[in-house]
Amino acid sequence: MGASESTEDVRTALARVRAAEAEMHQRIRATTSLGENELRILQLLLTRRRDGFDVKPSEISRHLGISSASTTALIDRLERQGSVERRTHPTDRRSILIAPTDRAVDEVADVVDAFADRVGRAIDALSVAERAVVIGFLDAVTEAADDIAPARRRERSFA
């Protein structure tokens, strides 16, 4: 970003990012019959799987900022659609893990991974100083959103 770019240019760029991501989600939902939260669950599962981590239902609840009952209902629907499966935790038999099925990987992973790869390349192109500025800006935007709606404030876990 050059020094001549105005505050309004930054706001416009942020609005473009939000709109582009919303449009991407809409295109995926249109081809997969997924709701917004269902898509967000699959994105989380696919990202965590790619990074070598399992996902518990409580992590999904925190990620979406919804109750455990709502999370269970969404997982039930995704399981009926053949998009996720429940697995027994390997070391805690009382706990379950949620994993994407091969069907979900086939339908959604290519798009999710392609987006993550492109964002990763954009991040890699930044210097350490530029990354610090971006992180500071995004943290400030997040804090502003949280301050406007403190009742919705929650721990975030984004991959």
Q: Kindly report the CATH number assigned to the domain that includes residue 144.
A: 1.10.10.10
Q: Tell me whether residue 159 is in a domain.
A: no
Query: Which residues, at least 6 apart from 107, have a Cβ–Cβ distance to it below 8 Å?
Result: 31, 32, 83
Q: Tell me whether residue 1 is in a domain.
A: no
**Mean pLDDT along residues 76-100:** 92
State the pLDDT confidence band at 3, using cuts at 50, 70 and 90: low
Q: Tell me whether residue 70 is in a domain.
A: yes
- Whole-model pTM: value is 0.67
Dist CA 143 CA 140 (whole Å): 5
The pLDDT of residue 159: 47
Q: Tell me whether residue 28 is in a domain.
A: no
Q: What is the dihedral of CA 91, 83, 34, 145, to 10 degrees?
A: 20
pLDDT at 1 over 60: no
As a whole-number percent, the residues of the chain with pLDDT over 90 amount to: 52
**Mean pLDDT along residues 2-23:** 86
What mean pLDDT, rounded, does the chain reach?
86
Query: Can you list the pairs that 19-24 forms with residues at least 24 positions away whose Cβ atoms lie under 8 Å?
Result: 24/111, 24/115
Q: Is residue 60 a contact partner of residue 75, using CB atoms and an 8 Å limit?
A: yes
Q: Tell me whether residue 66 is in a domain.
A: yes
Between 34-43, 46-55, 80-89, 144-153, the lowest mean confidence (pLDDT) is in 144-153
Q: Is residue 34 a contact partner of residue 28, using CB atoms and an 8 Å limit?
A: yes
Q: How many domains does the chain have?
A: 1
**Token pair of 92, please?**
């805690």
Q: Tell me whether residue 141 is in a domain.
A: yes
Burial class (CB in 10 A: 0-12, 13-18, 19+), 112: buried
Backbone phi, then psi, for 85, in 5-degree steps? -140, 150
Continuous segment of H or E residues that includes residue 84 = strand 84-88
As a whole-number percent, the residues of the chain with pLDDT over 70 amount to: 91
pLDDT in tens, 91-146: 888 889 999 998 888 878 777 778 888 999 999 999 999 999 999 999 999 888 88
Max CA distance (Å), the chain = 59
- Name the 3-class secondary structure at 98: strand
Dist CA 67 CA 57 (whole Å): 10
Q: Tell me whether residue 21 is in a domain.
A: no
**How many residues does the structure list for the chain?**
159
The pLDDT of residue 80: 94
Domain, as residue range, for 82 = 36-152
**Mean pLDDT along residues 50-76:** 93
